A and B are shown apart, each in its own frame.
Chain A
């Protein structure tokens, strides 16, 4: 009996000392550490391209001599898809790795958790991919910035294009049953209604995220007899929805609008079954022929022997933003970095980007176009790059949204 307890205590002590031993702080004076947190095990298909883009940028920056005479070091960690874990990792990055700032994340709720943490710990957080509007508006704070165009921006871009189709009057929507889906539908409805007071929304379907019962959802949508459908599903839900909808003839003669559907992460797995003729936001990486993007594309393919996804370009741009910010701030002092982030402008492969001072949202835009099938793969045609700046609310409106 006693032995048991002694051993137990031994284990406990062992754990403590083990944790002690593993805390070996290495703080070299000639490097700046960037703490990266993302859902690498939960959603690897989306986050691994992000990390590759980021690493490519870091390597390029360091090859060119680094920033402020120091090398950038990318300390990348997994959050297991759990906000509590993300906050713990952030604490570890901040206190053990002594990172200058934290960046990354894909899930909105994790982004929000990190934002709240950043405010409490007075640490700069550059959210890369989370789309939640609340991140910079309702729950925005002084230390949190976001790069990727938000749910609202992308939905607004699609609504503006969809509004041009006068024949689409009865709209139905389908979106995963969680905050992103709800925001995406609400934003689309709001903007479309403003542009086209004559449209009606006849119904919404809310399948559980990655748990779609596609046959049933398609039946329900068909029963509404809409002229047009706004789709927010993605990933495995999208694949099932597209297949079922096509077999059951749901899409025939209807305008279908798909948020994010054109992003390689989502359209590529569909292969030759990719939807055709949908109005989508996406990333037609093959066809973007600006010199800056061509250079990025070549470098990315050379480094990773793979083509970039939307995550790759976001990761790349995130590191460019950090580089520009550090140059402007001239220091890794948090207050100086935050001040530098406000209104920061830099050039990215996708075009010039500015972080608005009013809400810390970047003006990075999105590619909007129509899906086609080319060589047995889905991609986009008749696309254009829409600058995010044109789809953000005015400064006055934003101030109201951002009640600090």
Chain B
């Protein structure tokens, strides 16, 4: 009995930090519709600043709590800085474009934190007066756990009062329900948003600081909390603070009891819960269905045009360079070295991966946060065939797109029922489940030791042969994707994205089409995975990680989502920049800063380069076209 009670209380206390971080994330999303991936970084900053503040203020009984609050306020101000300097400038940009900006912020904060606090883990200071344990029916429970158990309901109550008893809070709630309405009421949206960023970030900072007595500060905290925080927000219902509270407790308790019953379940449990909740309650426990047209009304995409002379010329030029590169390598190995071919192979693989994601993201309007499942899943399908059947490349290679397609059929069946951020989160959940299976099932997949020895057959094993093989597959893949885009199927996809209402009312079974598109996209991502696994000779669960999914997402968003050129340019630029910067010690800072700069300068992505003010200045681009009345999506 004592054991049960103490386990229960332990679960409740571990929910506290999770709730604080998740509630902040939820508030920010609810009002600004920004999926703030940098929220984990704020949590990390809260911990680091907390350690410093406790040292500075002195750890007395009062000083400790003052320091914790100071940390929260400081992080809140950092959130404000991010809003004013960065987000405010890109609210008008297409939805999810802000994602990239927050990616950039993550990278920058990582290096800045490393630079300020150094690389060694910091152990958190203990809370004066709460260092011991209480004994409950013969079982010991740290006193600080009781503090944490008390904090969540207190914060929840405080937020409730704020949102229901103050004018500002009422506005925030109104904005969560309908942003356009608030701007119509003449409320100064800017300061509303700034305030929300402060509150949300401060909550993340508080979460980071308040967990110090249970842990400390380290450089991996940001990524470690962010996935969990998203799970809590989504399970609770995006924008719902009560939901976040409920979900944090649910997940805290499930983890604590789950660990005792299934010690191996640590990696998968949370994501299983999220998948189940999203399948049965697509808007989370306490969330409300998305009001269509709630977010920013995006500028409509221009109609598709067949390739003009310029594009054909550019394409032919790039292709010619690609085809001649090995020749140049043989002729002047000093200038065109072997590694350049390696780099181009890498770039081409990611171009195909990004283009595959673009197929659903651009024309389909479906943003996947879990496409690494198909890239890595394909790679694993091929590698498993090599490992267990010693299949030659000519056979195993095809297992990758086929296996990825099967996986996409399975995941897609569930995912296409959802839309927007919920779709994205469900893809993330499935990708994480797939990842944990690969990671955990060591006997078959080799766990994180991966599968080795997936090298090409002899005829393709020379660098140049593999280079041509890669270029061949990628170019063919891109042409095929483009062809489908211009075929009726591609049009129906865009139709479903532009107006689901109209698409259904002309007989298009949108969900079915999206499912097919998801499968095609998965297959092409798998093809990229096949090229990858044979170019590296091994595959590891890293290829299915969230970070890999985000790579592709970043490439598409940075390149521009409006045409296939986007992912091509985005993947090329990012892979190349990554290689260029990675030789430097603070490469993350540089990459992050570059990404932020690009976001600010090119809100349409790199491929939108032609439409920027620079191009207009130079008289190169047509002036922006007029606006029309469209984009409404209620069956009225």
Contacts and interface: CB of A to CB of B under 8 A. Distances in A.
A260 B573 CA distance: 41
A398 interface: no
B317 interface: yes
Contacts of B448: 108-109, 178-179
A171 to B, nearest CB: 15
Nearest to B621: A3
Contacts of A91: 338-339, 342
Range, interface on chain B: 35 or more
Interface in A303-348: none
Contacts, number: 280
Given A8-B565, A214-B215, A95 B342 contact: yes
Interface stretch (A263-271, A368-376, A386-394): A263-271
A352 to B, nearest CB: 31
B449 A112 contact: yes
B339 A96 contact: yes
B583 to A, nearest CB: 7
B3 A2 contact: no
Nearest to B257: A216
A83 B450 contact: yes
B610 A4 contact: yes
Contact of A92 (B139, B264, B308, B339): B339
Contacts of B309: 2
Given A4-B608, A177-B266, A249-B140, A95 B439 contact: no
A108 B94 CA distance: 41
Interface in B446-484: 446-450, 452-453, 455, 461
Nearest to B461: A120
B317 A83 contact: no
Interface string A104-125: 0000110011011101100000
Contacts of A294: none
Nearest to A204: B263
Interface string B236-279: 00000000000000000001100110011011000000000000
B83 interface: no
A182 interface: yes
A134 B573 CA distance: 37
Which label, helix, strand, loop or mixed, suits the secondary structure of the A interface? helix
Contacts of B337: 23, 25, 95-96
A177 B264 CA distance: 7
Contact of B565 (A5, A208, A222): A5
A18 B576 contact: yes
A219 B532 CA distance: 43
A353 B408 CA distance: 52
B266 A273 contact: no
Contact of B260 (A20, A132, A219): A219
Counting chain B CB atoms within 10 Å of each CB, the highest count among A95, A205, A207 belongs to A95
A83 B267 contact: no
Interface string B329-362: 0000011111110111011000000000000000
Counting chain A CB atoms within 10 Å of each CB, the highest count among B339, B439, B455, B610 belongs to B339
B336 A88 contact: no
B141 interface: yes
B536 interface: yes
Nearest to B325: A16
B569 interface: yes
A321 B321 CA distance: 44
Contacts of B325: 16
Interface string B20-50: 0000000000000000000000000000000
A302 interface: no
A108 B447 CA distance: 11
B267 A8 contact: no
Given A19-B340, A214-B214, A244-B214, A2 B310 contact: yes
Interface stretch (A37-45, A160-168, A282-290, A359-367): A37-45
B442 to A, nearest CB: 7
A28 interface: no
Contacts of A178: 439, 447-448
Interface residues of A, number: 87
Contacts of A203: 263
Contacts of A45: 119-121
A83 B538 CA distance: 9
Which label, helix, strand, loop or mixed, suits the secondary structure of the B interface? helix
B418 interface: no
Contact of B610 (A3, A82, A204): A3
A48 interface: yes
B114 interface: yes
B450 A109 contact: yes
Given A2-B311, A177-B266, A219-B7, A240 B215 contact: yes
Contacts of A207: 259, 266
B264 A206 contact: yes
A220 interface: yes
Contact of B335 (A23, A132, A204): A23
A6 to B, nearest CB: 5
A271 B123 contact: yes
A269 to B, nearest CB: 5
A5 B340 contact: no
Contacts of B6: 219
Interface in B208-248: 214-216, 218-221, 224
Counting chain A CB atoms within 10 Å of each CB, the highest count among B11, B538, B585 belongs to B538
B314 A6 contact: yes
B632 interface: no
B442 A182 contact: yes
B498 interface: no
A236 B532 contact: no
B340 A23 contact: yes
Counting chain B CB atoms within 10 Å of each CB, the highest count among A179, A206, A247 belongs to A247
Interface in B96-121: 114, 119-121
Contacts of B122: 269
Nearest to A270: B123
Contacts of B334: 25
A90 B385 CA distance: 26
Nearest to A6: B310
Contacts of A249: 133, 140
Contacts of A215: 10, 13-14, 142, 145, 214, 256
Interface in B130-149: 131-133, 139-142, 145
A137 B39 CA distance: 43
A12 to B, nearest CB: 5
A45 to B, nearest CB: 4
B573 A11 contact: yes
A219 B543 CA distance: 34
A282 to B, nearest CB: 16
A20 B13 contact: no
Contact of B263 (A81, A205, A210, A240): A205
B266 to A, nearest CB: 5
A207 to B, nearest CB: 6
A291 B336 CA distance: 50
A177 B142 contact: no
B582 interface: yes
Contacts of B267: 177, 208
B620 interface: yes
Contact of A108 (B218, B340, B449, B542): B449
B330 to A, nearest CB: 14
A49 to B, nearest CB: 10
Nearest to A16: B321
A248 B580 contact: no
Contacts of B313: 5-6, 9
B453 A116 contact: yes
B10 A44 contact: no
A268 B121 CA distance: 9
8 contacts: A1-B310, A15-B572, A16-B321, A19-B576, A88-B579, A211-B224, A249-B140, A270-B123
Given A112-B538, A177-B266, 14 more contacts: A1-B308, A5-B308, A6-B313, A6-B314, A12-B318, A13-B321, A19-B576, A20-B335, A23-B339, A85-B582, A88-B342, A178-B447, A206-B263, A236-B215
